[in-house]
Each structure stands twice: as structure tokens, then as C-alpha cells.
């Protein structure tokens, strides 16, 4: 049987584990998989664009497991009481193709994106970083703030969003973290001034210039999360020219990231090169660094792998009869044979044996 973990299941796991602890543990799973970079199938995600948004499939696999995520991005969804981003994912056994896990990934993606951002910043930001500006205060902003507070020791966050209610919402939610000072800025310029780290996580599908070169200071690390599809950027091109730019998977980021604005030979470093030691992390206190993050399938693979482990540990989730399990695997017709009463389905004991064989 396929393990099924829904939204409430993930929320329950977060309550049991604690969100900061989950973010740190997921970052560890992601880092482990980046160390194993060469063993993964890699491709840019498959995207279906429309005038109002995008729907994407994000697949990857190693020798043992296959994973994919279905995810959308529709900035106007909030006017229809729907999330801007919605997602689900599958983890399957490569040896048989059997789907081991079907899971919600809207909440899980917010957690894995925050984990990836903090993981990259742990290599690229100054170790002394204690302040961050957060430009864009929507549904992923709490996760980003908590990740940087818990993993990097950020103590001060200045918020800016064109929607003041979004900033007020974020400030209320972060009040549960007494070691974190949160203020709302009236302009992006004010929020960014003097910040060690700048996180941009806006939703509009447009070539925006959230961060301009005059706003960048020596030693700053930019965590650019919101530019994640063709025609959607957040950084002025000169900001990229000033910085050392790190990406997840270069062929995908050239299409979807902020570097889509740059020449094809614009130099970038893939994150796995830093994890493996082939390239250094931050090279000086004065270096400006940019993590041009668009989200990569390997990170979803890590998230699903981690969630499967957590679901089994906590006994959370449900068994789902997603694919038939038959007495005779060549006799699918047995399920619909007149008068069969589904006699072709194997009994529960045999299902347990089949499940154990795939574990």
C-alpha cells in the first residue's frame, strides 16, 4: 500500500517535531543529497505557462528512489481565496516503480525552501550576520524568518511589503520567538539599509527591481527566492554584476532565475560545488554574495525522503490503495470481471508481505 500524508498530517508532524527542528533536519537531508549530486538524474522542470501563472512538474531520481513534485504559481489566487502556490509529490521505488509515498507539498515546500535558503546562507553569509531584511511578506515569509533565526542566529528582521497587512501578519506570527526583534519598514530601502542578509520573496510574475545596486552594501548576502520562472525577476542586473552568484542547477536557473537577465556566459557557481569542497563558500568579509534560488527537484526529493521517515517514526499518515495489488499481476481484468467481487485482489496479509518487500 502507498503511504499517504495529507496537510493535517504534515501539520501534526510539525507540532510534534517543532518547526525550527524540522527545518534544521531537512537542511541536513538536503545537504546529504547535494553531496551525492553525481548520482541524480537532473533536468530543468517541465513548465506549462499561461497569462495568469504556471504549472510545473519537477522530477529527479537516484538509483533507489524516484520523486516528482506538481506545483503551481498563480499570484492572483489570493483574490479567489486560494494559495499562490499549491503542490503535491510522489516518492517511488526505482526497482519496481511502486509509489511509496503520496504527500501534500504546499506546506512541505515552504519548509524545504526555508531550509535550503538557510543552508546556502550558512556557506555564503558572514558568520557574524545578525540582521536581515525581508522584502515580500507572504505565505513563505514566516518559514524563511524562522529558518534564519534558528539556523544562523538572526536576531533582527526588518519587513517590507506593498501590502502592509501582510507585514503585520508576519510580525504577529513571529512574536512567538522572543529572541527575534521584528520591525516594519515603510520602504524597501529602509528595510535593507545596514542588513547583513536580504531575503527577497515576492510573488508577482514580473521583471521587478526589488533590489537595486545602490541598496547593496559590502559583505551583504542576498537570498533571492522570488524569481523562479521566465519573466519573473527581483534583482537589478547590476546587483548580479557586483556579486558572486550561486545557483542550484545552472541550466534551470538560466531559464528561470534572476540570471535570466544576464549573458549566457555570466559566471555562476552551483551549490553542490561548494558542498563538495570543489569551490569555496564566502571568500572575504567584503564579498557580496547572491543565492539565486529557484527551487530544484533534488530538494523536493530530500523533503519527501525526510517526510517518509518522519511519517513512519510518528505513525502519521494513511495507507492508500493507489495501485492494484493482484493475485495474478497479469490479470487486471479480475478487478472488473462480472460477479468477481474484486476476487483478483490479494488479501491483507499478502499486502503486508508485498509492502515489506518494498520497504
Active site residues: 228
Pair 121, 114: CB distance under 8 Å = no
Pairing state between β 65-73 and 87-93:
antiparallel
Alpha carbon separation from 78 to 23, 74, 81, 82, 148 (Å, rounded): 26, 9, 5, 5, 26
Phi and psi, residue 201, nearest 5°: -145, 65
Which residues, in sequence order, are bridge partners of residue 61? 41, 66
Residue tagged 499570484 (cell numbers) = 75
Measured CA to CA, the distance from residue 141 to residue 199 in angstroms comes to 9
Phi and psi, residue 177, nearest 5°: -115, 90
Phi and psi, residue 269, nearest 5°: -115, 130
Measured CA to CA, the distance from residue 128 to residue 101 in angstroms comes to 40
Helix (H, G, I), strand (E, B) or coil at 24: helix
Residue among 99, 123, 102 at smallest CA distance from 34: 123
With helix as H, strand as E and coil as C, how does 89-119 read? EEEEECCCCCEEEEEECHHHHHHHHHHHHHH
Q: DSSP class of residue 346?
A: P
Pair 63, 53: CB distance under 8 Å = no
Measured CA to CA, the distance from residue 136 to residue 234 in angstroms comes to 11
Amino acid at each position: 500500500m502507498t503511504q499517504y500524508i495529507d496537510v493535517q498530517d504534515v501539520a501534526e508532524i510539525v507540532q510534534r517535531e517543532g518547526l525550527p527542528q524540522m527545518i534544521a533536519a531537512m537542511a541536513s537531508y538536503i545537504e546529504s543529497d547535494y553531496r551525492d549530486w553525481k548520482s541524480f538524474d537532473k533536468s530543468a522542470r517541465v513548465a506549462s505557462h499561461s497569462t495568469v501563472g504556471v504549472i510545473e512538474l519537477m522530477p529527479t531520481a537516484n538509483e533507489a528512489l524516484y520523486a516528482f513534485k506538481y506545483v503551481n504559481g498563480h499570484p492572483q489566487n489570493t483574490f479567489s481565496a486560494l494559495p499562490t502556490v499549491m503542490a503535491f509529490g510522489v516518492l517511488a521505488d526505482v526497482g519496481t516503480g511502486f509509489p511509496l509515498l503520496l504527500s501534500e507539498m504546499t506546506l512541505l515546500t515552504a519548509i524545504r525552501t526555508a531550509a535550503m535558503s538557510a543552508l546556502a546562507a550558512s556557506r555564503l553569509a558572514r558568520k557574524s550576520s545578525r540582521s536581515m531584511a525581508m522584502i515580500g511578506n507572504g505565505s513563505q515569509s514566516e518559514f524563511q524568518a524562522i529558518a534564519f533565526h534558528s539556523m544562523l542566529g538572526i536576531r533582527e528582521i526588518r519587513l517590507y511589503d506593498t501590502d502592509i497587512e501582510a507585514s503585520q501578519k508576519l510580525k504577529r506570527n513571529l512574536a512567538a520567538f522572543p529572541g527575534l526583534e521584528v520591525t516594519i519598514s515603510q520602504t524597501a530601502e529602509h528595510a535593507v539599509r545596514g542588513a547583513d542578509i536580504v531575503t527577497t520573496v515576492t510573488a508577482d510574475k514580473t521583471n521587478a527591481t526589488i533590489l537595486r545596486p545602490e541598496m547593496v552594501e559590502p559583505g551583504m548576502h542576498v537570498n533571492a527566492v522570488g524569481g523562479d520562472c521566465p519573466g519573473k525577476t527581483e534583482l537589478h542586473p547590476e546587483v548580479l554584476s557586483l556579486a558572486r552568484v550561486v545557483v542550484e542547477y545552472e541550466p534551470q536557473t538560466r531559464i528561470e532565475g534572476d540570471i535570466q537577465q544576464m549573458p549566457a556566459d555570466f559566471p555562476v557557481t552551483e551549490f553542490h560545488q561548494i558542498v563538495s569542497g570543489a569551490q569555496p563558500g564566502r571568500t572575504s568579509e567584503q564579498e557580496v554574495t547572491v543565492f539565486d534560488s529557484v527551487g530544484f527537484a533534488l530538494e523536493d526529493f530530500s523533503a519527501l525522503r525526510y517526510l517518509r521517515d518522519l511519517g513512519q517514526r510518528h505513525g502519521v499518515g494513511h495507507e492508500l490503495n493507489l495501485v492494484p495489488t493482484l493475485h495474478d499481476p497479469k490479470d487486471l481484468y479480475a478487478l472488473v470481471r462480472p460477479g468477481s467481487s474484486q476476487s483478483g485482489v490479494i488479501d491483507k496479509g499478502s499486502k503486508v508481505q508485498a509492502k515489506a518487500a518494498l520497504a
